[in-house]
Chains A and B, each alone.
Chain A
Amino acid sequence: MPNILVVEDSPTMRQLISFAMKRISGSKVIEATDGVDALKKLSSEKIDLILADINMPVMDGLKLVSLARGNPSYKDIPIIMITTEGAEEDRKRALAIGANAYLTKPIQTQELIRLVNGFISTPR
């Protein structure tokens, strides 16, 4: 039963992504509103995959990725970035600091589900 952490400051997007993730059989969705909130959830729950926005208040998604990759407990958790930033250099930067995949908004739900399924079905 995969635990998926959705990190997104927009309630609309958070609800939409959570909606999509709940359609993955047996998954449990945990929501966080920014990077700091996400780190709290990471320390209290066993997380199998993170879906994170980039532009967020308090702590953005890129900072969250670099902190997670520097922590031995979270370094292997797959992280998918979901952002409005569609430029190639943004994608490269996110992947370079340790994100596993990069999706741009507006998201295609089927594509997101396929991507998530690929990560959670691959043993780490």
Chain B
Amino acid sequence: MERETSIGKKADEFLQMFKKGEEFTQELLKENERLRFKVAQLEEAIERSGDEAKIRLYEERIKITEGELNSLKERFKQVEEENKDFATKYVEVEEENNNLANLYVASYQLHSTLDFNEVLRIVLEIVINLIGAEKFAVLLIEEKTNELIPVGTEGVAISEVPKVRFGEGIIGTAAKEGESYFAENIHAARGAISMENPIVCIPLKIKEHVIGVIAIYSLLLQKEKFSNVDYELFNLLAGHAATAIFSSRLYTQSERKLTTIQSFLDMLKEKPRR
């Protein structure tokens, strides 16, 4: 009986102990659950803080990239402006180049010969082809009579161009004063050309000494106005055509005199033989 009682006690104690063990296990499980929850929370927080850091990083990068983009846009604008500038300068240089080519060719041709008629033909060619004149005349001063005599014409017969007294009218005044004349309306003469009233008058000068005049009466249909190169050509003609005409005239005269002297000498040499 006593033994049974002792066994019962022990069983109760064991049961108590088992219950305590169960409770403890329950508590451990709860604590485990709580800790796992905490870990999950912490992991989530870490992850979230990582994303924020990344976002901040990306935002920084976007700011830098935007800055670079803006500076590139600015540079692109600058380069575009420079490009436009270069393009304009290129066109200007091209134009200048072409103008210089015109002037070079005109000057080269004017001094390419000592034949007076050839020089005159070249002057006419330049005025027609490079300036665009339709009707014009070249008049040279005859010092004995003090008159301007037509020596070459284009678009008008030489007989139609009257001699002009030095200092008289537009042509005579241009020759006397050595100043170029440009009519206000260069197309006014179309259809009604007056030999006394040219639209342009260019004195041919060697330094300050005028040897003649180019008188333009009308321009080609397509020639609307004078450009900068035309004025350069007028200046070139005023000087270079004058020297070319003067030297070719002198050369022709000296050639003629040389031939006369040579013939005279030949005649003298032949005399004793007779």
Residues of A that sit less than 8 Å from B by CB: 10-13, 15-16, 19-20, 84, 86-87, 104-106, 108-110
Is the beta-carbon distance between B105 and A104 smaller than 8 angstroms? no
B156 interface residue (CB < 8 Å to A): no
Interface residues of B (CB under 8 A from A): 91, 94-95, 98, 101-102, 105-106, 108-109, 112, 122, 125-126, 128-132, 134, 220-223
Give Cα distance in the complex from A109 to B132, angstroms. Answer: 14
Q: Please determine whether A86 and B220 come into contact, CB atoms closer than 8 angstroms.
A: yes
| CB-contact partner of A12 in B98, B126, B221, under 8 A | B126
Sorted nearest first, the 6 A-B pairs with minimum C-beta distance are: A86-B222, A109-B98, A86-B221, A106-B132, A104-B222, A12-B125
Complex partner residue of B106 from A12, A20, A84, A108, CB under 8 angstroms:
A12
Contact B108 A10 (CB under 8 A): no
Q: Name the residue on A nearest B106 (C-beta).
A: A12
CA distance A15 to B112 in the complex (A): 12
By secondary structure, the B interface counts as helix
**B106 with A110: CB separation less than 8 A:** no
Check if A105 sits within 8 Å of B132, measured CB to CB: yes
CB within 8 Å for A13 and B125 given contacts A104-B220, A105-B220: yes
Instruction: List, in ascending order, chain B residues with CB within 8 A of A20's CB.
Output: 98, 101
Q: Kindly list chain B residues whose C-beta atoms are within 8 Å of the C-beta of A109.
A: 98, 101-102
- Name the distance in Å between B68's Cβ and chain A's nearest Cβ: 39
| A12:B220 contact, CB within 8 angstroms | no
Who on chain B is nearest to A15 by CB? B105
**25 A-B residue contacts at CB 8 Å?**
A11-B112, A11-B122, A12-B105, A12-B109, A12-B125, A12-B129, A13-B129, A15-B105, A16-B101, A16-B105, A16-B130, A19-B105, A20-B98, A20-B101, A84-B128, A84-B129, A84-B132, A84-B134, A87-B221, A104-B222, A105-B132, A105-B220, A106-B223, A109-B98, A110-B98
- Asked if A12 and B130 sit within 8 Å, CB to CB, the answer is yes
Least Cβ–Cβ distance between B222 and chain A, in angstroms: 4
CB-nearest residue of chain A to B233: A106
- State A110–B129 Cα separation when bound (angstroms): 16
- A20 and B98 CA atoms in complex are apart in Å by 8
User: Which A residues are CB-close (under 8 A) to B94?
Assistant: 110
Which of A12, A84, A87, A110: most chain B Cβ within 10 A? A12
Rounded to whole angstroms, the CA-CA distance of A103 and B91 in the bound complex is: 21
* CA gap between A106 and B105 in the complex, in Å: 14
Please name all residues of chain A whose beta carbon is closer than 8 Å to the beta carbon of B105 when the two chains form the complex.
Answer: 12, 15-16, 19
Residues in A neighbouring B98, C-beta threshold 8 A: 20, 108-110
**Contact across chains for B101 and A19 when beta carbons are under 8 A apart:** yes
- Separation of A105 and B132 alpha carbons in the complex (Å): 6
How distant is the Cα of A29 from the Cα of B220 in the complex, in angstroms? 28
A45 to B130, CA, bound (A): 30
State the Cβ distance, A81 to closest chain B Cβ, in Å: 13
A110 to B90, CA, bound (A): 12
> What B residues does A84 contact at CB under 8 A?
128-129, 132, 134, 220
CA separation between A110 and B125, bound complex, in Å?
Answer: 21
The distance from the CB of B268 to the nearest CB of chain A, in whole angstroms, is: 42
Given the contacts A20-B101, A110-B94, A110-B98, A15 and B131 also touching, CB distance less than 8 Å: no
**Chain A residues with CB under 8 A of B122:** 11-12
List the B residue with the shortest CB-CB distance to A9: B125
* Docked pose: A11 CA to B112 CA in angstroms: 11
Set of chain A residues within 8 Å of B134, measured between Cβ atoms: 84
